[in-house]
Amino acid sequence: MGISYVEFEDEAGILRRYRKHVNGRGLVATTAKVDPTAFVDPTAYVDPGAEVQRGATIGHGAWIEQNAIVAERASIGVNARVGRSAVVGKFAVVGPYASIGAEARVQNGARVPREANIPAGAEHHASGEDLRRLGLAA
């Protein structure tokens, strides 16, 4: 059985090729890097140049835009969107329907609430409760 591809034309009229990820069958651009231990839901997309690291979870309908990074063991919720060149830190949780703007940063262990909007270029910090959940705060 060979690798099958799906092709889409982006906003600029450039044809982009995606393949199904081995763990979850989500669509991953051929120029994206997704660790085999990461889960990409069959309805999720990972755009060109993006990186999804070990043990991360990309939920139903989520979209990881170009050059974004989803770090180790981070979780992206249902229909959440991670903007172009944004970074979601290790063990961070992005809630359902949340939106992370272009070049924004979500710190390691931080939780982004359901339907929250983190503006482009902003930084979302982990709360004391977030850190306690990970055993990192007293």
Give me the CATH number covering residue 66: 2.160.10.10
Structure confidence at residue 125 (pLDDT) = 93
Name 19's Cβ contacts closer than 8 Å, sequence gap at least 6.
Answer: 3, 4, 5, 6, 27, 28, 30
Asked whether residue 2 carries a pLDDT value surpassing 60, the answer given is no
pLDDT band at 112 (very low <50, low <70, confident <90, very high): very high
Average pLDDT for residues 7-17, to the nearest whole number?
85
Q: What type of residue is 69?
A: I
Structure confidence at residue 7 (pLDDT) = 87
Name 67's Cβ contacts closer than 8 Å, sequence gap at least 6.
Answer: 48, 49, 50, 84, 85
Average pLDDT for residues 97-126, to the nearest whole number?
97
Lowest mean pLDDT among 34-43, 66-75, 100-109, 125-134: 125-134
Q: What is the pLDDT of residues 25-56, one digit of tens each?
A: 999 999 999 999 999 999 999 999 999 999 99
138 in a domain, yes or no? Answer: no
Q: How many domains would you assign to the chain?
A: 1
What radius of gyration do the chain's Cα atoms show? Answer: 15
Question: % helix / strand / coil in the chain, to the nearest 5?
Answer: 5, 35, 60
Helix/strand number for the chain, H first, E second: 1, 19
* Contact in structure between 104 and 85 (CB atoms under 8 Å): no
Residue 91 phi, psi dihedral angles, 5° rounding: 60, 10
Torsion sign over Cα 81, 115, 109, 35: negative
Residue 73: domain span: 5-133
Structure confidence at residue 3 (pLDDT) = 62
